[in-house]
Structure 1
Amino acid sequence: MKLGVYLDGSTPDSFVAHARRAEDAGLESVWVGDHLITASPRMDSIVALTAAAAATTRVKVGFGVLVAALRPTAWVAKQIATLQALSGNRVLLGIGTGGDAHGELGWRAAGVPFAERGKRTTAMLEVLPDLVAGRPATVDGVEFALAPGAEMPPLIIGSGPGLLRRVARFGDEWFPAFSAPAWIGEQRARLAEFAAEYDRPVPGITVGVSLAVGKLPDSVLDAQVRSLTGYGMSEEQAREALVTGSPAEVAERLAVYADAGVHRIAAMPFAGDRGEQIDLLGEVAGLLR
């Protein structure tokens, strides 16, 4: 089981330091989300991960996930190829359509119809591997190639169960978030069926998990449960998906994901100091090896 951590994209003063701290703690990867406009401040994911890659030498840099359709296809490919080359092939390219939880404002500000986000994402996925690699591709009727090309990063597609065909068609991995192991195991069987239809390998699974290592008050746990219900989960589902406890208890909970077919956890700490949580996750990673 590989273990990574989300960095706090709202705190530029500690972002790079926390990326280094995650590398020193032995974590496999660091992750950021991607939103143009949210209720809280949020740095641009591509620029932030470039800074993280420049400040580290080993840890992988992951998009969890890049809302690529907010941007022109050619620019996304150019920036990903550049980041992949500059980082020494350490990019984990998570791509998603963006959900309803953050609303339409960012899309309207970018001049992109919210209702077209799925169609635009699929169209981008069709050409992105060729464009990143420097091979010719056609976008909106224009054929071109970008240079220099780079090794295409693993393509990790975020989606709910209704869009598993997109994952099976394009993805190297599936990226569900806030999901319990039993549910993931059920969906993995469906994903395998779709992959067989496309004559492709069954995608691996990276899961975003909301967790807190160490003791925390019930009020903090209850607040996080309320937060997760904003993503369409019931209170029961939210409580089942949360992972809390000592490093040993968290490692035991995360190991259950491995039994469901998950090979990487992208941890989303929701309580305590982020730096301390990174150190504690380093202990968890050691127990999972």
Structure 2
Amino acid sequence: MDVGITLPGYGHDIVAYAQHAEGLGLESLWHGDHLIPVNPFLDSTLVHATAAAVTTRIKLGFGVMVVALRQPAWTAKQIATLQHLSGDRVLLGVGSGGDAHGEAAWRAVDVPFADRGKRTDAVLEVLPGLVRGETVSLHGHDIALSPGAAMPPVLVGGGTNAALRRTARFGDHWYPAFVPRRAVAAGVRRLAELADEFGRPRPGVTVGVSVALGDVPASVIDQRVKGMTDYGMPEEQAREVLVTGTPAQAAERFAALAEAGADRIVAMPFTEDRFRQAELVAAATVTW
């Protein structure tokens, strides 16, 4: 199994952190995509361009890009550019945007929140051709972007049936986050059925997990649980899906997710000692 880790949402240590994660042997770096978040958050494409410039091997994952907020031609141009800058290291996580983030970003770009699912599918229909530099019909006009690039793997975020169907239709991986092992196993089974309907092989599975390894005060864990329940998750599930304890204990949790069908783990540290968390996550991969 591959193991990646999220970048800080903002701050001046992104360069050092990216190099640190690569030096530890982690497979990928991930950054979210929020226009108007609760907390400060840097633009995902620019963060990954920065990380690409200071690393050579580690992959660069969007966790996840909300493509319905963006014009598809500009989206494709940015993805193709990042592929060129990074040497084809992009992992394109895509999501439709959830209720928990509210409608402020959608109002800011004059896109109806209710249309996000339909717009996401429409973008995914044309994105591969646009990225590759092929001629694509867009708004009644044929266009081709240059230079084209290899279309990166598409990972579709979300745990709903709509997300699974979108994954089976367009995705190379399903990318749920903060879900119990049993939900991963059930999703894998459903994904196989849906993939058969579309005549495609079953996509792989990447799972995002919230982690805090080492000696972490109970109050910090309680605060993280509160943050997850504020997003509508039951407290029992929030505590169940947190990965805490030693690297060996984390390795056991990662192995359980692998048995459920996961091919990749994306560790999402929620404590302030992010450099140390990267080291502990890397130690968990060695232990496992």
1:273 maps to which residue? 273
Distance 1:166 1:252 in 2: 30
Instruction: Give the counterpart letter for 1:36 in structure 2.
Output: L
Distance 1:81 1:258 in 2: 31
2:119 maps to which residue? 120
Instruction: Give the counterpart letter for 2:158 in structure 1.
Output: S
**Deviation, structure 1 residue 230:** 2.5
Normalized against structure 1, the TM-score is what? 0.97
**Deviation, structure 1 residue 220:** 1.2
Distance 2:231 2:205 in 1: 20
**SS of match in other structure, 1:228:** helix
1:212 maps to which residue? 212
Distance 1:112 1:18 in 2: 34
Distance 1:173 1:19 in 2: 23
1:253 maps to which residue? 253
1:45 maps to which residue? 44
1:18 maps to which residue? 17
Compare relative contact order (CA 8 Å, sep 6+) and give the higher one, 1 or 2. Answer: 1
Instruction: Give the counterpart letter for 2:39 in structure 1.
Output: S
**Deviation, structure 1 residue 162:** 2.2
1:228 maps to which residue? 228
Give CA-to-partner distance per residue, 1:11-63, whole Å, 9 cap, x none: 2x101110000000110000000000112111000000010011100000000
1:85 maps to which residue? 84
Instruction: Give the counterpart letter for 1:40 in structure 2.
Output: N
**Deviation, structure 1 residue 281:** 1.4
**Deviation, structure 1 residue 255:** 0.7
**SS of match in other structure, 1:232:** coil
**SS of match in other structure, 2:123:** helix
Distance 1:232 1:190 in 2: 24
Give CA-to-partner distance per residue, 1:109-130, whole Å, 9 cap, x none: 1222111111111000001111
Distance 2:111 2:50 in 1: 27
1:181 maps to which residue? 181
**SS of match in other structure, 2:105:** helix
Contact persistence 1:84–1:91 (CA under 8 A): yes
1:133 maps to which residue? 132
Aligned ranges 1:20-169 → 2 under 5 Å = 20-163=19-162, 164-169=164-169
Instruction: Give the counterpart letter for 2:45 in structure 1.
Output: I
Unaligned ranges ≥5, structure 1: none
Instruction: Give the counterpart letter for 2:28 in structure 1.
Output: S
Distance 1:68 1:157 in 2: 11
RMSD, aligned α-carbons: 0.9
Instruction: Give the counterpart letter for 2:78 in structure 1.
Output: Q
Distance 2:287 2:147 in 1: 41
Unaligned ranges ≥5, structure 2: none
Contact persistence 1:10–1:40 (CA under 8 A): no
**Deviation, structure 1 residue 141:** 1.8
Contact persistence 1:26–1:285 (CA under 8 A): no
**Deviation, structure 1 residue 272:** 3.8
**Deviation, structure 1 residue 217:** 1.5
Instruction: Give the counterpart letter for 1:270 in structure 2.
Output: F
Instruction: Give the counterpart letter for 1:138 in structure 2.
Output: S
Normalized against structure 2, the TM-score is what? 0.98
**SS of match in other structure, 1:116:** helix
Contact persistence 1:212–1:272 (CA under 8 A): no
